Homo-oligomer: A and B are copies of this chain.
Amino acid sequence: MLFISAVTWYTLSKPGYFDCTGSKTLRCTFSSREPAGSRQSNSNPNRNPNQKWKEITDAIPLHPLDPLTVQEINEVKAILTKYEPFLASFPAIHSLSLDEPEKSQVVAWKKGDPLPVRKANVITVLDGHTHVVVVDLGLGRVTSHVMDPFSGYPVVTLDDLGAALVVTYGNEAFKKAIAARGVEMVDLSCITLSPGWFGPGEEGRRITKVECFSSEGTPNFYMRPIEGITVIVDLDKKEVLKIIDIDRAIPIPKGENTDYRYVAQDQPANMRPINPISLEQPNGPSFTVQDGHVVTWANWVFHIKADQRAGLVISQARVRDSETGEPRSVMYKGFASELYVPYMDTDEAWYFRTYMDAGEFGLGATAMALVPLNDCPRNAYYMDGLFAAADGSPFIQPNMICIFERYAGDIGWRHSELPVNGFQNRESRPKVTLVARMIASVGNYDYIFDWEFQTDGLIRVKVGLSGMLMVKGTKHENVDQVYENNELNGPLVSENAIGVVHDHFITFHLDMDIDGTNNSFAKVNLVKEETLAGKSPRRSILKPHRKIVKTEDEAQIKLKIYDPSEFHVINPSRRSRLGNPSGYKIVPGGIAASLLDLDDPPQLRAAFTNNQIWVTRYNQSEQWAGGLLVYQSKGDDGLAVWSARNRSIENKDVVLWYTLGFHHVPCQEDFPVMPTVTSSFDLKPVNFFESNPILRAMPNFEKDLPVCGPGSLYQ
């Protein structure tokens, strides 16, 4: 069966319904409750289930970057099953995805051409070793096999986590510890955390740290930590290594007012109701999705796909020149390369909580079906993700990505002349954009990833944070009981619950190819210049000093408010009619730096957050900012290591990296579910176009807009 849902996979015999999935804050529970099971929110509004099923099973690759199909995944599995080194014991498949062709092949490919040979990149674990294998589907065999290329292990699998919970739940000492806290096993919810890396003590074996909660009286178990119990489990030997049971006097926070489900609300919000409001397009959306993955809208064309690790990958983004109609390359590939979340607490159960969600759990692996009408507006188009399970079989993340057009009442450009002069111009153009969205629910946190395309050539990359805080139990019910507020590692957000301070850093891989592969990186520094005495009544001005950055070392950028620069990726070979090089600039936003010691173990592993901007020489293997293998890695692979090679980046194929940062000091409003906080950065054309590309955009006219009636009248 194709839909290998973790439900069927991990359901054990009753009593004690059991399930697990691969998430940092994986919930695993012994429970007599059955999954409730309305599948409505899983359904793809665009297609009926039968048609969808057929589309998925029959799909063939149509573009060099298309993800592996069901058939291809099955072929890879078949090849690996017969592969000599795996005959004795079939390894766990931690990652199985398209090994993308060389960029030159992809760029040269045109629709109608035969596809470059299809290959799969497979990362497996066998006997405690990592095997990185390339399967050539043309040759039907393994063509590359590397063992333990770096420290660390690949993304954990559902099997890993399921097994960790099986041994935890079956451990007698653990059961006693839970019972001693007054929690029934049916109310127990545990999550399996990545342990980070903190020196030799835990090296040489794959482990997880299990932390537990009570879900008595609430589905929002995150708000009810059983503080101080940590179970360390060996994932390969499937055994409990250690149970830590401290902080026994800390009460479990109560569950009242933590249920966030609509059905559980017994009264409406105390505010005037909001009338129905909706983005309406009676003629339908203006974009098309061709061949399953190629989006065409306004002046944009790009390839989009779901990825188990990155979540959502945008490739070959091209914008049509508003003068010539020429499709021009902007970005070869863009995606969230890593998501680093260090918590700020040195306690036994907390010091290691320094997640790297993409490399440890997978942003696509944790991206559940979007909720129609609420996660995405009407007229959204939904796409599925197709990944491989631990046994090598294909599985689907349904409705994982949505694509929609957005009109928010904003203005693309405008100008009014005072109505009294000879030119009574009153011109304004509405701003309509295209959004591609994916939401990873990495356990407690929900990360909303938006790629927004504007007709003026700008790409806005947005990350919204919602979901649940990771709270810590405390004896305190009121800040008056705390001698010094600084004693706590975060504010009290509810009785007996601290919202532990933490950061979020999302590092994006932005392989810019402005009008072609070879680009340069220019820093346009705004420098204060003093005026020579007597030359002008003005004493100082800012002057832009443009400098081409020669090497990776120089391209390690820490943003400075009082020494500002613009950062351009330019094509030195393509100049405008005025002679300006064609370029895009990155406009930083969501600026927060990691302030941890550079030699603190989590920061060694997340050294890619030591700067906000990096530019590296393109190398197809350098995709993941935290390194290929992140789980328990030591930081011997990744962006900081590559950049340290200090390669030349002038007029070369280069990759831009940007880190969006959030410092999060929680507050009461974040309890029991957090209102979304959003930050974004922009990729913005700068002398890429000869002039404003939306000068000739259409205004809105009344006659074109929809005519609508209340939905209730039409039911």
A292 interface residue (CB < 8 Å to B): no
**Residues of chain B with a CB closer than 8 A to A545's CB:** 486
Cβ contact within 8 Å between A272 and B299: yes
Could you say which residues of chain B place their CB within 8 Å of the CB of A477?
578
Kindly state whether residue A464 has any CB partner on chain B within 8 Å. yes
- A179 interfacial contact with B, CB 8 Å: no
A276 contacts B591, C-beta separation under 8 Å: no
Kindly state the separation between the CA atoms of A687 and B704 in the bound complex, as whole angstroms: 46
Task: Check A703 for interface membership: any CB of B closer than 8 A.
Answer: yes
Taking the complex as formed, is A508 at the interface, i.e. its CB lies under 8 A from any CB of chain B? no
Q: Kindly state whether residue A21 has any CB partner on chain B within 8 Å.
A: yes
- A35 and B538 form a contact (CB under 8 A): no
**Are B422 and A19 in contact, with the CB atoms below 8 A?**
yes
* Contact residues in B for A54 (Cβ distance below 8 Å): none
CA distance A42 to B299 in the complex (A): 33
Q: Does A430 contact B (CB under 8 A)?
A: yes
User: Inside 8 A of A455's CB, which chain B residues have their CB?
Assistant: 269, 271, 274
B707–A35 touching, CB < 8 Å: no
**Copies of this chain:** 2
Alpha-carbon separation in the docked complex, A566 to B709 (Å): 46
State which of B577, B591, B707 has its C-beta within 8 Å of the C-beta of A711: B707
The verdict on A418 contacting chain B, using a C-beta distance below 8 Å, is yes
A171 CB–B CB distance under 8 Å? no
Stretch at the interface among A204-212, A283-291, A303-311, A332-340: A283-291
CB distance from A131 to the nearest CB of B (A): 28
Pick from B286, B380, B695: contact of A260, CB under 8 Å: B695
Q: How many residues of A contact B (CB 8 A)?
A: 223
Closest to A284 in B: B275
Contact call B409/A279, Cβ cutoff below 8 A: yes
Chain B residues contacting A351 (CB-CB under 8 Å) are 536-538
Q: Which of B281, B546, B671 contacts A275 (CB 8 A)?
A: B281
CB-based contact A528/B595 at 8 Å = yes
B-contacting 9-mer, from A76-84, A92-100, A118-126, A660-668:
A660-668
* Beta-carbon contact of A431 and B676 below 8 Å: yes
Q: Chain B residues near A50: list those with CB within 8 A.
A: none
Q: Find out whether the CB atom of A422 lies under 8 angstroms from the CB atom of B541.
A: no
Does A483 reach chain B (CB closer than 8 Å)? no
Complex Cα–Cα for A413 and B571 (A): 41
Distance (Å) between the CB of A680 and the closest chain B CB? Answer: 10
Q: Are A691 and B671 in contact (CB under 8 A)?
A: yes
Across the interface, do A261 and B703 meet the contact criterion of CB distance under 8 Å? Answer: no
* A279 x B282 contact (CB < 8 A): no
Question: Interface digits, A322-363 against B, CB 8 Å rule (1 contact, 0 not)?
Answer: 111100000000000000000011110001100000000000
A405 partner residues in chain B, CB cutoff 8 A: 274, 277
Inter-chain CA distance A283–B275, complex, in Å, is 6
CA distance A536 to B411 in the complex (A): 52
Interface-facing stretch out of A227-235, A238-246, A554-562: A554-562
Residues of B within 8 A of A345 (CB): 541
Contact B698 A669 (CB under 8 A): no
Chain B residue numbers with a CB within 8 Å of A589 are 589
Q: Mark A406-423, 1 if CB is under 8 A from B, else 0.
A: 111111111111111111
Interface core residue of A271, A539, A589, A700 (most chain B CB under 10 Å): A271
Name the B residues within 8 Å of A423 (CB-CB).
27, 36, 215, 219
Measured in the bound complex, the distance between the Cα atoms of B276 and A490 in whole Å is: 48
Partner of A699, one of B257, B262, B564: B262
CA–CA, A540 to B407, complex, Å?
44
Instruction: Known contacts A274-B286, A600-B539, A709-B706; decide if A420 and B10 are in contact (CB<8 Å).
Output: yes
Interface residues of A in 411-457 (CB under 8 A from B): 411-432, 435, 439, 441, 446, 448, 454-457
Contact A541 B706 (CB under 8 A): no
A17 interface hit (Cβ, 8 Å): yes
Question: Are the CB atoms of A692 and B669 closer together than 8 Å?
Answer: yes
Q: Judging by beta carbons under 8 Å apart, are B542 and A503 in contact? A: yes
Q: Does A114 contact B (CB under 8 A)?
A: no
A10, A267, A697, A715, most chain B CB atoms within 10 A: A697
Please state if B710 and A708 are interface contacts (CB–CB under 8 Å).
no
**A491→B580 contact, CB < 8 A:** yes
Q: What is the minimal beta-carbon distance from A283 to any residue of chain B, in angstroms?
A: 4
Question: Is A369 part of the contact surface with B, judged by Cβ < 8 Å?
Answer: yes
Q: How far is the CA of A697 from the CA of B273 in the complex (A)?
A: 9
| Chain B residue at minimal CB-CB distance from A581 | B479
Kindly report which residue of chain B lies nearest to residue A590, judged by CB atoms: B589
A151 in the interface (beta carbon within 8 A):
no
Once the chains bind, are A601 and B17 in contact (CB under 8 Å)? no
Kindly provide the distance from the CB of A371 to the nearest chain B CB, expressed in whole angstroms: 4
A227, B382: Cα distance in complex, Å = 55
A383-419 contacts to B, CB under 8 A, are 404-419
Instruction: Determine the distance from Cα of A270 to Cα of B319 in the docked complex, in whole angstroms.
Output: 11
List the B side residues contacting A346 at CB < 8 Å: 531, 535-536, 538, 541
- Least Cβ–Cβ distance between A6 and chain B, in angstroms: 4
- Is A543 touching B414 in the complex (CB atoms < 8 A)? no
Query: Does A688 belong to the interface (CB within 8 Å)?
Result: yes
Decide if B456 touches A675 in the complex (CB within 8 Å): yes
Taking a contact as CB atoms under 8 Å apart, the answer to whether B705 and A707 are in contact is no
Q: How far is the CA of A566 from the CA of B405 in the complex (A)?
A: 35
Q: List 25 A-B contacts (CB under 8 A).
A: A270-B324, A273-B698, A274-B455, A276-B704, A283-B710, A371-B416, A371-B428, A373-B700, A375-B411, A376-B409, A413-B466, A417-B441, A456-B675, A492-B578, A526-B663, A559-B561, A560-B561, A562-B595, A669-B688, A672-B691, A674-B692, A703-B712, A706-B710, A708-B708, A708-B709
Other A-B pairs beyond A269-B694, A486-B543, A591-B591, 13, CB < 8 Å: A5-B419, A35-B419, A260-B695, A274-B405, A275-B284, A374-B411, A415-B466, A458-B675, A485-B546, A501-B541, A539-B601, A544-B665, A669-B693
Q: Which 6 A-B pairs have the closest CB atoms?
A: A408-B408, A346-B536, A198-B537, A479-B579, A219-B423, A374-B428
